[in-house]
Amino acid sequence: SLKPRPLIAGNWKMNGLAESLDQARAVAAALDAKPAGARVAICPPATLLDRLSAALDGSSVLTGGQDCHVKTSGAHTGDIAAAMLIDAGASLVILGHSERREDHAETSALVAAKVETALTAGLEPIICVGESLAQREAGSALPVVTAQVRESLPAALAGQAFSVAYEPIWAIGTGRTATVADIEEMHAAIRAQLVELFGGHGATVPILYGGSVKPDNAAEILGAAEVGGALVGGASLKAADFLAIIAAA
Ligand code: PEP
């Protein structure tokens, strides 16, 4: 079938020092001994990316960045260019995470431009969308998220490898997850939008769920219709938890 393997991506956010590399090494060793059905990636803080990529070299675990700048280089203090992520061994990049949209006022238009930059550099984007609690309670979750999909995904994605991550903001780091019914409803709406934008290719793009995915809810979430993987924050920091989620995919 055309269905790609699920993707389980760990987002370490602003967590992780040198000792965290041991957790990643443990994940890789376990997957080398017992290969997973899913593709697996870890997106560490930028300071660890080069060392993590080296530690995982030769394993099945991919690495990714958590953001990149829209420009390819230049006077942008504190930012990271897509080519620098590639240079540090990354093959993926998370773009448009709600924490970037909130903390750094990133708009969907900027996210779309970053996606183009990432693709040009050769990175596979994981593009995040998701509604706030106020938007869900107002009944506008579906239109908000489908608009984010339309506005954050440039036409340049046609035929390219990428995924979309649906992360309801109220479920991130809160221990609260969306119900399977809510996840399936949203993923179906995102799928319809992807097919509208990209035709047959849009039917195969993995749609990840993110928001308090843990070992004890992973099987239920990953078994839901149109869930093609997970973006995992907190639970990706511990090898045993991350491996349990990977095994559920
Ligand atoms: C995230 O922010 O990408 C995320 C899913 O975080 P958590 O799993 O900690 O809710």
Distance, CA of 148 to CA of 194 (rounded, Å): 12
Length of the chain: 249
Q: Which of the residues are catalytic?
A: 97, 167
101 part of a folded domain: no
**Parallel, antiparallel, or unpaired for β 207-210 and 61-65?**
unpaired
pLDDT band at 175, cuts 50/70/90?
confident
Say whether both 131 and 57 belong to one domain: no
Nearest of 52, 46, 47 to residue 68 by alpha carbon: 46
Residue from 125, 143, 140, 138 nearest 208 by CA: 125
SS3 20: helix
Residue 225's pLDDT is 97
| 1 pLDDT above the threshold of 60 | no
Q: Is the ipTM of this complex over 0.90?
A: yes
User: What is the Cα 61 distance to its own chain's centre?
Assistant: 14
In a domain, 116, yes or no: no
Q: Is residue 5 part of a domain?
A: yes
Residue 133 counted as domain residue = yes
Task: Calculate ∠ Cα 53-58-61, nearest 5°.
Answer: 60
Domain count, the chain: 2
71 contact partners, CB below 8 Å, separation of at least 6: 81, 117
CB atoms within 10 A of CB 211: 26
pTM for this predicted structure: 0.97
> Does residue 25 belong to any structural domain of this protein?
yes
Q: What is the pLDDT of residues 122-138, one digit of tens each?
A: 999 999 999 999 999 99
Say whether both 82 and 130 belong to one domain.
no
Tell me: do 149 and 73 sit in the same domain: no
Instruction: Provide the percentage of residues in the chain whose pLDDT is more than 90.
Output: 96
Residues 82-113: tens digit of each pLDDT: 999 999 999 999 999 999 999 999 999 999 99
Are residues 5 and 80 located together in one domain of the fold?
Answer: yes
How many other C-beta atoms are found inside a 10 Å radius of the C-beta of residue 225? 11
Are 2 and 79 in the same domain?
yes
Residue nearest to ligand 1 atom 8, measured at CA: 233
Both structure tokens of 14: 């602003």
Is 2 a residue whose pLDDT tops 70? no
Q: Which atom of ligand 1 is nearest to the CA of 173?
A: 10
Whether 55 is covered by a domain: the verdict is yes
Nearest to 94 by CA among 172, 146, 26: 172
**Does the annotation flag 173 for ligand binding?**
yes
Which CATH number does the domain housing residue 59 bear?
Answer: 3.20.20.70
What mean pLDDT is reported for the chain? 97
Q: Is 234 annotated as a binding residue?
A: yes
Q: How confident is the model at residue 176, as a pLDDT? A: 85
Q: pLDDT-based confidence at 3, cuts 50/70/90?
A: confident
- The boundaries of the domain holding residue 33 are 1-89+170-175+229-237
Q: Indicate if 83 and 4 belong to the same structural domain.
A: yes
Question: Are residues 13 and 79 both part of a single domain?
Answer: yes
Q: Are residues 55 and 129 in the same domain?
A: no
- Together in a domain, 50 and 6: yes
Asked if residue 11 and residue 84 are part of one domain, the reply reads yes
117 within some domain: no
Tell me which of 167, 169, 216, 217 to substitute to probe ligand 1's pocket, judged by most ligand atoms within 8 Å of the beta carbon. Answer: 167
- Distance between CA atoms of 157 and 202, rounded to whole angstroms? 10
Residues contacting ligand 1 via CB (< 6 Å): 11, 167, 172-173, 210-213, 231-235
Whether 218 is in a domain gets the answer no
Each residue of 188-209: pLDDT tens digit?
Answer: 999 999 999 999 999 999 999 9
What pLDDT digit, counting tens, does each position of 38-92 carry?
Answer: 999 999 999 999 999 999 999 999 999 999 999 999 999 999 999 999 999 999 9
Q: How far is the CA of 74 from the centre of ligand 1 (A)?
A: 31
